[in-house]
Structure 1
Amino acid sequence: MRYFQLDLLLKGRKESIIVKAENREEALHLAKLKKGGVIIRVQETTPPLEERLKDIQNKILSYFKQKKVKPDSLIASVRQLAVMTNAGIPIYDALKEIANSTVDKTLQEILHQIAEDINSGLSLSESVENFRYQLGSLTVTMIKLGEQTGNMPEALFTLANILEEIRENILKFKKAIRYPLITLTAMAIAFVVLIMFVVPKFKAIFERFHAELPLPTRILLWLEHAFSTYGIQILVGLIIIVFVIIYLYRNNESIKYNIDKYLLKVYLIKDIIYYATLSRFTLVFTELVAAGIPVAEALDSAVAMVDNSFIKEKLETVKVYVERGVSLTDSFKETELFENMIIQMIGAGESSGQLDAMMRKVSDYYRMKFNYILDNMSSYLEPILLTIIAALVLLLALGIFLPMWDMAKAVKGH
């Protein structure tokens, strides 16, 4: 909807009103119904402040109301749907049956709605598209694949296998970072306790001698003052900042792109995102090509499920090059995302007419690299963990003992 400011001449007086309408003609019609009079001028304008605030409020509320479906429930339902469609049961009946048996309330509502959409004439992919956030881009892509190939059961079985693999990788990742997170949390709590309860006792001693305090001590005293005076405000502020960043990341394409690009430069995170993304992209692309889908369409569907905006932009250029007649090998090379060995493998598959088989090997390679990172997560995180712990211990030790040594020297000097 757009906003229009209309200047009216009403009973000899000039008056301005703002109307919300689809276009200029509708705005004129609404203004005549509301006010009458003679319309002097019409121009499009920005929404009033109240409307903008209301829009932001509605977006925030809808963001909190949105719930993703639990992975276990989604995998079980997809497998059940695959079995039932393979047995020849109509999708509408299968969806109704699965919806009644699932314990996930969000998924239950979604399946009922999809069943009603199908009953009213929509295709399964058209209906599922409305629940992309809750079900994930991969689910939408694979269901489209099932409709394009005419083999929905196979597409659903493949989807269930991929979702299971993703779930296992997430569980591996959580298990790998559990120990470092517990260690860091315990260290942070201990650090805050020392700042809040131990540092104030030394503060009173330091103030008696009126000596110039070293930098580590001044940092500790500043932290103690900040935590004791503004502790709640700092905590609330951090929570608000986190929620604002998450909200902007999901609703502002420019901010999402810049964050995604930056994450690909961060130690360890860049490798996790890179290998996870390319593993899924090559897997979906392979399944589409193997099913006989044209390369350009397969690229479209595979790229659609890529979450990282920076990588997605790079992969979108592949389709552009392919449509211009450039070979798939050269198109992938232009993205600068793939190492030389992978380009050679894709080239061999393209020239021999076995692209799907070679792409499957490429997908296996990225999956292997991703699993290797997850399996060795602890060894990657150990240097960071030790550095943080050492820095905190050093700050506490120097902050407390340096002034004590200075005071001891001063006492001996007297």
Structure 2
Amino acid sequence: MAQEKTKIHKKEKSIWNLIKEISYTRTRLSIKDQTFFVKRLSFLIKAGIPIQESLTMIREQTQKKGYAFILDTVIANVSSGQNLATSLGRFKNVFGDFAINIIGFGEQSGILSENLEYVAAELKKRQTLRKKIISAAIYPIVVTIATLGIVAFLMVFLFPKILPIFDSLHYALPLSTRIVIVVSNFITHWGLVSIASIFIIIAVLIIALKKSEIICFYFHKFLFIIPIIGKIIRDYNMANFARTFGLLLKSGVAMSEALSISVKTTPNLVYKKEFKILAGVVNRGAKISTHLNKRRDLFPDLVTQIISVGEHSGNLANSLLYLSEMYEAEIDDFTKNLSNMVEPALMIIMGMLVGFIAVSIITPIYGITQHLNAR
């Protein structure tokens, strides 16, 4: 009886451990945590500390459960004889193909510490780019929400209180006031329904983008048409691809394999599809610049020319890294100037909306007072 209970307990424990492993395998670490892990590991290995001991030291400073489980699994695998890249390969959704392949090549060639620094630099630049793009978008979003809030307040709370006065005097209202009345009535009666409908549409769109690759592809294609957003997306994807591809080549990964890894790290499906085609072209022995020259809508002439120079000089990795730095600098300048470009336009739109409502309220009041004075 005791043995049966022990067996049941062991089965329950193993099932629980399996569930736990599946849940933690799907854990996503922030780029900050990934950078910290890779950077610390690089420093410790460079200091001459063995990999297993280095991982244990990092684990001791880890508080997050998901992160701790990943490290425990990696330490157990490394202690049983697996190399670091294979151990991290169980958590591809966390570390990604780029980091795992560079780490694997570093272990094989004896330059693990150096390759870990490459990964840390890549992760840090990726985080910096995202922060710049997000920070550039925050100000316009805040101003837009503030504008809509002021307009909604005037339409829903202020204007309806003045409207009965206009009705009681039977005064012929100007066109601007009649437009505001129509909008005010619509917001009052259908405002909440409209907001709920917008949220539902957005939710359906997000689900459709996640579930359907075709819808997501055409949505990404549509984003290129939008003036400011289209430029940021092009520059970001070019910087991301050039940096990833360049670092992989520099760390010794074969070109065909480096291209397939770069495809996986590309978020935009339009560029992802193009890079897959490019990988096939390269496998057939053609040059990268020859193919890029055919798709000038996605790859500017400057990109093709610099890659062509790199191919002819045998220094493609450095040419790609130069390209990534150039596009990162462009994104940096563009995001810094974006607020200065958008701010005047938003202020003008905000002023026009509030001014239009103010004029629509003041004009009939002025007309009514003139009419009463004439009597």
Q: TM-score, length-normalised on structure 1?
A: 0.72
Q: Distance in 1 between matches of 2:124 and 2:170?
A: 65
Equivalent residue for 1:285, pick from 240, 245, 251: 245
Unaligned runs of at least 5 residues, structure 2? 1-21
* Structure 1 residues 290 and 412: CA distance shift in structure 2, 3 A: same
Equivalent residue for 1:399, pick from 360, 363, 373: 360
Q: Deviations over 1:348-377 (max 9, x none)?
A: 221122222222222221122111112212
Contact 2:289 2:308 in 1 (8 A): yes
Q: Which residue of 2 aligns with 1:146?
A: 103
Deviation of 1:155 after TM superposition, in Å, equals 2.3
Q: Report percent identity of matched pairs.
A: 25
Q: Distance in 2 between matches of 1:90 and 1:248?
A: 47
Contact 2:249 2:255 in 1 (8 A): yes
Q: Distance in 1 between matches of 2:28 and 2:348?
A: 36
Higher relative helix content: 2
Q: Is 2:313 aligned against 1:356?
A: no
Deviation of 1:200 after TM superposition, in Å, equals 0.6
Q: Which residue of 2 aligns with 1:188?
A: 148
Higher relative contact order (CA 8 A, sep 6+): 2
Q: Distance in 2 between matches of 1:383 and 1:167?
A: 29
Identify the range of structure 1 (111-120 vs 352-361) with the bigger mean alpha-carbon deviation.
111-120
Q: Which residue of 2 aligns with 1:342?
A: 303
Q: Distance in 1 between matches of 2:105 and 2:55?
A: 20
Unaligned runs of at least 5 residues, structure 1? 1-61
Q: Is 2:269 aligned against 1:269?
A: no
Match for 2:246: what amino acid? T
Contact 1:216 1:395 in 2 (8 A): yes
Higher relative strand content: 1
Q: Distance in 2 between matches of 1:220 and 1:75?
A: 53
* Structure 1 residues 403 and 324: CA distance shift in structure 2, 3 A: farther
Deviation of 1:106 after TM superposition, in Å, equals 3.7
Deviation of 1:215 after TM superposition, in Å, equals 5.5
Q: Which residue of 2 aligns with 1:319?
A: 279
* Structure 1 residues 154 and 246: CA distance shift in structure 2, 3 A: farther
SS of alignment partner, residue 376 of structure 1: helix
Match for 2:258: what amino acid? A
Deviation of 1:141 after TM superposition, in Å, equals 0.8
Q: Is 2:330 aligned against 1:388?
A: no
Deviation of 1:292 after TM superposition, in Å, equals 2.8
SS of alignment partner, residue 318 of structure 2: helix
* Structure 1 residues 255 and 209: CA distance shift in structure 2, 3 A: farther
Q: Which residue of 2 aligns with 1:36?
A: none
Contact 1:74 1:107 in 2 (8 A): no
Match for 1:259: what amino acid? F
* Structure 1 residues 80 and 200: CA distance shift in structure 2, 3 A: same
* Structure 1 residues 106 and 240: CA distance shift in structure 2, 3 A: farther
Contact 1:268 1:380 in 2 (8 A): no
Match for 2:354: what amino acid? V
* Structure 1 residues 172 and 363: CA distance shift in structure 2, 3 A: closer
Q: Which residue of 1 aligns with 2:4?
A: none
Q: Which residue of 2 aligns with 1:3?
A: none
Q: Which residue of 2 aligns with 1:97?
A: 57
Q: Which residue of 1 aligns with 2:118?
A: 158
Q: TM-score, length-normalised on structure 2?
A: 0.79
Deviation of 1:221 after TM superposition, in Å, equals 3.1
Deviation of 1:125 after TM superposition, in Å, equals 4.7
Q: Deviations over 1:66-94 (max 9, x none)?
A: 76433333221121122234456554554
Q: Cα RMSD between the aligned structures?
A: 3.4
Deviation of 1:129 after TM superposition, in Å, equals 5.3
SS of alignment partner, residue 307 of structure 1: coil
Q: Which residue of 2 aligns with 1:258?
A: 218
Equivalent residue for 2:35, pick from 75, 82, 86: 75
Q: Distance in 1 between matches of 2:50 and 2:38?
A: 15
Contact 1:73 1:104 in 2 (8 A): no
Q: Describe how 1:6-405 pairs up with structure 2 within 5 A.
A: 68-87=28-47, 89=49, 91-116=51-76, 124-125=84-85, 128=88, 131-135=91-95, 137=96, 140-149=97-106, 150=108, 151-209=111-169, 216-336=176-296, 337-404=298-365
Deviation of 1:409 after TM superposition, in Å, equals 7.4
Q: Distance in 1 between matches of 2:307 and 2:141?
A: 40
Q: Distance in 2 between matches of 1:280 and 1:339?
A: 15
* Structure 1 residues 323 and 178: CA distance shift in structure 2, 3 A: closer
